[in-house]
Amino acid sequence: MSKESISVFDIFKIGVGPSSSHTLGPWRAALRFIDSIALTGLEKVRKVRVLLYGSLAKTGKGHGTDVAVILGLLGADPVTFDVGLIDSTLAEINSEKTLSLGGVRHLDFDPKADVVFLMDESLPFHPNALSFLCSFDDGHEICETYYSIGGGFVVKEGEHGKKSSGVELPFPVEKAGDLLHWCLKTGLSISEVVLENEHAWRAEEDTRRGVLNIWSVMRDCIYRGCHIEGELPGGLHVKRRAAALNKRLLKGRTYSCYEEWIEAIRSGGQGFQYTLDWVSCFALAVNEENASFSRVVTAPTNGAAGVVPAVLHYFIAFCDGLHEDKIVQFLLTASEVGSIFKKGATLSAAMGGCQAEIGVSSSMAAAALTECLGGSPRQCLMASEIAMEHHLGLTCDPVAGLVQVPCIERNTMGAIKAITASQLALQSNPDNARVSLDAVVNTMWMTALDMNHKYKETAEGGLAAHIPLGLKEC
């Protein structure tokens, strides 16, 4: 694995659901392609076609890969684009058979013919590959290939092996052992080490402001998801459950804003079943929004976007954690664990199965919760290890290629495992741990290499191969 300097804002990215690797990644690849050909001149482009390979082809329809690529070619920003305009924008392009490339050049473009799903072709570097074929008015033609390698990260053909940035960090971390070394040497917590490293990119106040913005998108996503009923798109007829659960748990308690909602939740008590139901509700809310092409935060992926926010909201609602400093601490700690998995294994379900998504997110949340509850760095890493250890081998088998069954419920499981892992670590002596986080990261990667391709986001194995289309989630 190549050395990388990874920021908290690389792990947590604001984007659009339902998939970081199949939606956000291809969208960002299209934007990079636009920037690349802009050097030649967008106004000189005559024709553009997109080829989708491997997992992007096999589950691309269910994940909205074609939609994402088209929006990227328009030059739309996934962070700010109005998700309410996605359907109408695509309908107009399909009707008019034209596309405004980068908002500059109007081209003939038929989505059904010009976005090609190559189901039986895969490129060797990574299963999530896409190529942009571009011809110019003078007859010149180019082809650029990009790989969506998980968590919204994108690399261009030929970039593999290069450092992601030239930033030199004061506390470089490639493995969990490095992180623990810096914590023990400096006396800093994990979040404090991360904050010091973030200074290499920007001032501390800018980092805090950015992290709190990430938090605000997570918060709004949960709150929104807990108040929208209906059926998820895609044809599986999956009913939203978070809103009904929210209403049932509150038992008529009223509120008019997020803060009052949290108080209404707290007033219901601290019972185990009550708390458990709320953790599930928080996770369901995020991933129902994700499945609806809504705005979410990769944590570290879209398919696993509900775990970290759900555990954070557990901390906020049931551990009195609604304080900006604590929220920043939580997200900084979580991001560092995500970056360790990115460097030592993968965040891509197409490479590693769902252990690379739900497993990593649970591991991130476990470490973050442990630090915020007063755990030592060693206890944080122990919690992270416990959480991933019990996700090893988890397959990615989305029914109909949609990020719905079993993906939505898996976020509830990942959140509960994270809380359990944190409690175990807080009640344990890390000196007695027999398994290290680095050993688990390596094991996850070896497991990913051994895993049959059918269980890596192809919809060719597992539940995807045995659940008839149209079956309701239960």
DSSP 115-137: EEEETT---SS-SSEEEEEEEET
Q: What is the pLDDT of residue 473?
A: 39
The answer to whether the CB of 7 falls within 8 A of the CB of 153 is: no
Q: What is the pLDDT of residue 108?
A: 97
* Sequential pLDDT tens for the chain (474 residues): 447 899 999 999 999 999 999 999 999 999 999 999 998 899 999 999 999 999 999 999 999 999 999 999 999 999 999 999 999 999 999 999 999 999 999 999 999 999 999 999 999 999 999 999 999 999 999 999 999 999 999 999 988 655 555 789 999 999 999 999 999 999 999 999 999 999 999 999 999 999 999 999 999 999 999 999 999 999 999 999 999 999 999 999 999 999 999 999 999 999 999 999 999 999 999 999 999 999 999 999 999 999 999 999 999 999 999 999 999 999 999 999 999 999 999 999 999 999 999 999 999 999 999 999 999 999 999 999 999 999 999 999 999 999 999 999 999 999 999 999 999 999 999 999 999 999 999 999 999 999 999 999 999 999 999 987 744 433
What residues have CB less than 8 Å from 128, skipping those under 6 apart? 21, 22, 25, 53, 54, 55, 56, 147, 148, 149, 150, 348, 350
The answer to whether the CB of 180 falls within 8 A of the CB of 378 is: yes
What residues have CB less than 8 Å from 359, skipping those under 6 apart? 387, 388, 391, 392, 394, 414, 444
237: left (phi over 0), alpha (psi -120 to 50) or beta: left
For the chain, domains (ranges, CATH) are: 20-156 (3.30.1330.90), 176-466 (no CATH)
What residues have CB less than 8 Å from 94, skipping those under 6 apart? 111, 112
DSSP 298-363: -SS-STTTTHHHHHHHHHHHHS----HHHHHHHHHHHHHHHHHHHHHS-S-HHHH-GGGTHHHHHH
The answer to whether the CB of 444 falls within 8 A of the CB of 355 is: yes
d(CA 175, CA 370): 19
Q: What is the pLDDT of residue 279?
A: 98
d(CA 294, CA 313): 19
Q: What is the pLDDT of residue 161?
A: 59
Instruction: Summarize pLDDT for 273-296 with one digit per residue, the tens.
Output: 999 999 999 999 999 999 999 999
What residues have CB less than 8 Å from 38, skipping those under 6 apart? 102
Tokens of 269: 């008590």
